[in-house]
Amino acid sequence: MRFEGLARLGRGVIGALERLGRAHLLLLAILGGTGEVLRRPRLLFDQIYNLGVLSLLIVGVSGLFVGMVLGLQGYYVLQQFGAEESLGIMVAASLVRELGPVVAALLVAGRAGSSLTAEIGLMKATEQLSGLEMMAVDPVRRILAPRFYGGVIAMPLLAAIFSAVGVLGGYFVGVGLLGVDEGAFWSQMQAKVDFQEDILNGVIKSLVFGIAVTWIALFQGYDTVPTSLGVSRSTTRSVVHAALLVLGLDFVLTALMFGD
Amino acid sequence: MSVESDRDVLVRIRGLHFRRGPRVIFDDLSLDILRGSVTAVMGPSGTGKTTLLKLITGQLRPDAGSIEVDGEDVLRLDKAGLYRLRRRMGMLFQSGALLTDLDVFENVAYPLREHTDLNESMLRKLVLLKLEAVGLRGARDLMPSQLSGGMARRVALARAIALDPMMILYDEPFTGQDPISLGMLVSLVRQLNDAAGMTSILVSHDVQETASIADYLYILSQGRIIAQGTREQIEGDDSEPVRQFMDGLPDGPVHFHYPASPLDEDLRSPGRRR
Amino acid sequence: MGKRHTIEAMVGAFVALGVVALFFLAMKVSNLSMISGEDGYQLTARFSNIGSLKVRAPVTMAGVRIGRVESVSFDKTTYEAVVGMRIDAAVDSIPDDTFANIFTSGLLGEQFIGLEPGGSPEFLRDGDAIANTQSALLLEQMIGQFLFKKAGESG
């Protein structure tokens, strides 16, 4: 009894390590299904549709509003220094470097990640996964791998769309409503936003986030306790873990990319 | 028994130990399942009947013991070997386990599409034949959500036999069925077994239905086989646990009450805070 | 199958949209390319110092934008900066003795080119050079000169 607290801590740590191990084994198994995905691109198309096309609306609309808010807020701050021409840089740099990849990843985790987890979790709870195994079909290759690649492919595209729509939103507010010079808006942006430094790094970030979000969603579904409560908990965990991991990874990646 | 030659034994289990956490599910279990027979494994709920099926199909691994199916050691098989073996087995899950976003036709076609290169017209014929065998050819366009429990199980059965397996495993096929679909399922199991020369393993706690079609019965209790034999042999068995299970007596060696401290003591104690 | 086809078309459209967005970010937002080839005509001007004038900065006359900076290059023989400007086609009456200044909008704002018209009856045409220029006022230099003068007065 004296060591109950300590033992609980130990159990928690061991359990977390076990889950981490299982998650990595699952990732390996999914990567082992790459050939299957390439052989049957239809499975992949379906998942790009599910994860990408169906997330397009929320990502596009969010991008537009985030860009417009950046335009407004940026204008009022920059105006105080008489530097409202720099609005373009501010909007574009913050979108391309940070907000595009991060917010798109958070939205995808909420919109698509949760549905992935629930789908896989329910398939497990209703024995569909066992059923596939008994039909000698590997559910990891047949069900999980296409979803993984679908998410990894869709994420950078969604992030790019988010950023592009956001820049247009910022342009609309800054140039259209607040009267910032159009040339200055674009010229400053182009002068300061570097293709490799900013755009490519943003794409790399969103690729990493895509892997993280889809991996977590699939693992949470696959590792779920096969009951209604279990699936609901896994779905929540999927979103929470994905959001935390995206933000944590963002810090690490930012430090690595823009740190020096 | 054990006068059967090796050729006649399809599944051979020896010295099987399996535990889940601290609970011992199987304690030195050995059994044989003969080719072409309908073998029933019965026992009260929670005796690990489903676990036994998962062990035979290699979905779970035992702590000790050996499991041989058609001369192959299931425990030694790698993933590819296991999948090759499973193509020759069908399994009917308690829930049916149909793929919910495919219709009935596609569910039955699924294993054929995955494992064969049949052209579309061949595939269609095969699927319709299998559906005809379970009497659901007319339901081919329905989605699983539109099926009753009994129909879903019959579709799952059609899917399980799609690849003409050598063996089919039934997990509680009769649970929760109305009398009509129950009768249909019972006769289907027997018919399929005899018509296609398959071997059937039936896991169930529905005594009467199961006993009526099984060639050989095993009764499990607390991780061990407490009785085995043909239907007549089991019915002639006078031992207390067998009679309790077969006749459905509420109390006996298996207690109605889950183990607990005496009631008055329990009521007086302050209880556990939750 | 119809549904199959729709999904494939939607996926195709989605991927295309994503690529267009990336292309937009690369070409329009970043410095990957400086899109040229707008209509209007080109003028050049030489400055001894352009400060931090950027490509695509505005070119104004009487405070109204009439064109933008198209290129900035360095002439290694004269040590001067050569600025290429594209002027809107409608503004076709800029006298050839016009004065080009580099101004700063606000204290810390962006630099731009301001044109002050002269009185010549001859107008500048495509490819012409503006002869009269005044370089950018550099804040550091101004402060330096101011301090120097102050020091001279008090000393």
Residue B247 lies in a domain: no
B230-243 residue pLDDT tens:
887 877 777 777 77
Q: How confident is the model at residue B140 (pLDDT cuts 50, 70, 90)?
A: confident
Residues of A in contact with B95 (CB under 8 A): 126-127
Same domain, C115 and C47: yes
Provide the angle, in degrees to the nearest 10, between the axes of the packed helices A87-94 and A56-79: 140
Mean pLDDT of B19-46: 84
As a three-state string, the secondary structure of A208-248 is HHHHHHHHHHHHHHHCCCCCHHHHHHHHHHHHHHHHHHHHH
Which structural domain, as residue segments, surrounds residue C18? Answer: 1-30
For A134, the closest chain B residue by CA position comes to B86
In-domain check, residue C145: no
Residue C115 lies in a domain: yes
| Chain A residues touching residue B59 (CB < 8 angstroms) | 130, 133-134
CB-based contact C69:A43 (threshold 8 Å) = no
Closest CA to A140 of A53, A207, A223, A20: A223
pLDDT at position C35 is 45
Kindly state the helix (H) or strand (E) to which residue B11 belongs, with its residue range: strand B9-20
**A113-129 confidence digits (pLDDT tens):** 999 999 999 999 888 99
* Tens digits of residue pLDDT in A218-227: 999 999 998 8
Residues in CB range of A16: below 8 A, 6 or more apart: none
- pLDDT one-digit tens code per residue, A69-105: 999 999 999 888 878 888 888 899 899 989 999 999 9
Q: C104: which 2 tokens?
A: 């700063």
Whether residue B97 and residue A133 make contact (CB cut-off 8 A), yes or no, is: no
Cβ atoms within 10 A of the Cβ of A64, count? 17
Distances from the Cα of A233 to the Cαs of A57, A242, B11, B124, in angstroms? 27, 14, 40, 41
Per residue in A168-189, pLDDT (tens digit) is 999 999 999 988 888 888 888 8
| Pair of tokens at residue A81 | 């220094």
- Of B86, B93, B97, nearest to A136 by CB-CB distance is B86
Interval A242-247 mean pLDDT: 95
Residue range A203-240, pLDDT digits in tens: 999 999 999 999 999 999 999 998 889 999 999 999 99
- Asked if pLDDT for residue A164 goes beyond 80, the answer is yes
CB contact under 8 A, A183 and C57: yes
Contact A128 B83 (CB under 8 A): no
Within an 8 Å CB–CB cutoff, is residue B110 touching chain A? yes
φ, ψ of residue C59 to 5 degrees: the values are: -115, 125
Do C23 and C50 belong together in one domain?
A: no
Q: Chain A contact for C18, CB < 8 A?
A: yes
Look at the alpha carbons of C34, C37, C38, C44 in this order and tell me if their dihedral is positive or negative: positive
Cβ atoms of B39 and B201 within 8 Å: the answer is yes
Domain range for A112 is 4-258
Asked if residue C79 and residue C13 are part of one domain, the reply reads: no
Helix (H, G, I), strand (E, B) or coil at B71: coil
Residue C68 falls inside a structural domain: yes
- A82 or C20, higher pLDDT: C20
A209 neighbors A101 (Cβ within 8 angstroms): yes
Q: Are B25 and B69 in contact (CB under 8 A)?
A: no
For chain B, how many structural domains are there in total? Answer: 1
In this structure, is residue B273 part of a structural domain? Answer: no
Amino acid B88: pLDDT: 87
CA dihedral for A63, A64, A70, A71, sign (positive or negative): positive
Domain count, chain C: 2
The CATH number of whichever domain residue B75 belongs to comes to 3.40.50.300
Domains held by chain A: number = 1
Q: Using pLDDT thresholds of 50, 70 and 90, give the confidence band for residue C1.
A: low
User: What residues in C contact A165, CB-CB < 8 Å?
Assistant: 21
For residue B180, being part of any structural domain is answered with yes
Is the pLDDT score of C7 beyond 80? yes
> Which of the other chains make 3 or more beta carbon contacts under 8 angstroms with chain A?
B, C
ipTM of the complex: 0.78
Q: Which residue of A has its CA nearest to B87?
A: A136
Q: What is the pLDDT of residues B84-129, one digit of tens each?
A: 888 888 888 887 788 888 889 999 999 888 888 888 888 999 899 8
CB spacing of A193 vs C68 below 8 angstroms:
no
Does residue B29 contact residue B16 with C-beta atoms inside 8 Å?
Answer: yes
Say what the pLDDT of residue B27 is. Answer: 85
Q: What is the pLDDT of residue A56?
A: 92
My answer on whether C16 and C59 are in the same domain is no
Measured between CB atoms, does B60 come within 8 Å of chain A?
no
Neighbours of chain B (3+ CB pairs under 8 A): A
Please name the residues between 76 and 95 in chain B that touch chain A, using a CB distance below 8 Å: 79, 83-84, 86-87, 89-91, 93-95
Q: Does B50 touch chain A (CB under 8 A)?
A: no
CA distance B139 to B122: 19
Nearest CB to B87; choose among A132, A136, A142: A136
CA A239 to chain centre: 10
Residue A133 touches partner B, C-beta closer than 8 Å: yes
Residue B221 lies in a domain: yes
Q: How many helices (H) and strands (E) does chain B have?
A: 10, 10
pLDDT above 60 for B4 = no
Q: What pLDDT does residue B3 have? A: 46
Residues C67 and C89 placed together within one structural domain of the fold: yes
Contacts of A50 (CB under 8 A, 6+ apart): A112, A115, A147, A150
pLDDT tens string B147-189: 888 888 888 888 988 888 889 998 888 877 778 878 888 888 8
B271 found inside a domain: no
What is the rounded (10 degree) CA torsion for B152, B154, B159, B162?
-160
C-alpha to C-alpha distances, A96 to A59, A206, C113, nearest whole angstrom: 14, 10, 30
Any domain includes C147:
no
pLDDT band at C96 (very low <50, low <70, confident <90, very high): confident
Q: What average pLDDT does chain C have?
A: 82
Q: Say if A6 is an interface residue toward chain B (CB within 8 Å).
A: no
* pLDDT > 70 fraction of chain A, expressed in percent and rounded: 98
Q: What share of chain B in percent tops pLDDT 90?
A: 4
Domain limits for position B47: 3-232
Q: Please report whether residue B239 resides in a domain.
A: no
Residue A184: list chain C partners with CB under 8 A.
Answer: 57-58, 105, 110, 112
pLDDT, tens digit, for every residue of A7-56?
Answer: 889 888 999 999 999 999 999 999 998 988 888 888 899 999 999 999 99
